[in-house]
Amino acid sequence: MSLQATRVLSRPWLVGLREAIPLLGGYVPVAISFGLIAVQAGFTAWEAVIISTLVYAGASQFLFVGMVAAGSPLWLVVIMTLLINARHVVYAPNIAPWLTTSRAWPWLMHGLTDQVFALAHARLPQLPAAQRLGWFTGAALLAWVSWIGGTALGAVAGEELTRRWPLLGEIMPFALPALFLVLLAPRFTSRRWSLALGSSIAIALLLAVGGLTNAAIPLAAACGALCFYLVKCNATAKGGHHE
């Protein structure tokens, strides 16, 4: 379906479900890894599934089970988990102008992960208002269920799966960067945005390669924002156009 399409959709939840399918390529292999690691860290399969159901935040879940397994104090485990997830505070306000008045929206925010936000941020403005709740419900539910299902699969049969199909866990996660690329590509509309987005991507990549994966997202976004405003200041100082 075209990203520009705004035609009336008869079953918006089904469209949301379909458009969230690329997320599975990234979610399921990572969720399988989480299930496997949680069991190896001493959690039962049910406990791993409950963590995935309730916390539902990839990086922080890995940190949670890792710190618990290492014997870290629980107050520190909770603080670190919440710190990693702090980036989520900017997501909902960014999509809020396109949300309807339904009371279901606040509860649906449980499904507002990095990936669902990226998808919703691109798609919600293109959908008619009446279709947005259904679309988001379909997309967010599929992502959530795939995360929970992947965790269960990893906890029960993770070792067998990774032994039998070692390449699957290596290849399928590329669906996530591919999805983000497609969502971001239309935003390279000006020199200013290109520099800001390009620097965010490059800095996040370098920080992640350097082992600072958890700090990479907020730091890189902050650097990109700095770049965005510096380009504006520079253009204003020269009296030229910055867009």
Partner 1 sequence: MSSALWLAVLVSAAGTLLMRLLPLLWMRRRLARLDGDERLDAMPQWLGVLGPLMIAAVLGVSLVPTTPGALSWLATAIGVLATLAVWWKLRSLGWPIAAGVAAYGAVVILAGLATGA
Query: Smallest distance, Å, CB 36 to partner 1?
Result: 14
DSSP state of 190: S
Q: What are the tokens at 31? A: 């969720």
Cβ distance to partner 1 smaller for residue 109 or 235 = 109
Query: Smallest distance, Å, CB 181 to partner 1?
Result: 5
d(CA 221, CA 199) in angstroms, rounded, equals 9
d(CA 59, CA 30) in angstroms, rounded, equals 10
d(CA 145, CA 152) in angstroms, rounded, equals 11
Query: Smallest distance, Å, CB 126 to partner 1?
Result: 11
Cβ-proximal residues to 223 (8 Å cutoff; 6+ apart), any chain: 199, 200, 203
Query: Smallest distance, Å, CB 13 to partner 1?
Result: 17
Q: What are the tokens at 8? A: 């009336």
Alpha helix stretches (DSSP H) within 86-128: 91-95, 105-108, 114-123
Element (H, E) at 188: none
Query: Smallest distance, Å, CB 10 to partner 1?
Result: 19
Element (H, E) at 208: helix 191-209
Query: Smallest distance, Å, CB 232 to partner 1?
Result: 10
> Considering only CA atoms, which of 134, 132, 91, 133 is closest in space to residue 6?
132
Cβ distance to partner 1 smaller for residue 145 or 218 = 218
- For residue 174, give the 3-state DSSP assignment: helix
Cβ distance to partner 1 smaller for residue 34 or 91 = 91
Cβ distance to partner 1 smaller for residue 155 or 175 = 175
Cβ distance to partner 1 smaller for residue 147 or 180 = 180
Cβ distance to partner 1 smaller for residue 42 or 241 = 42
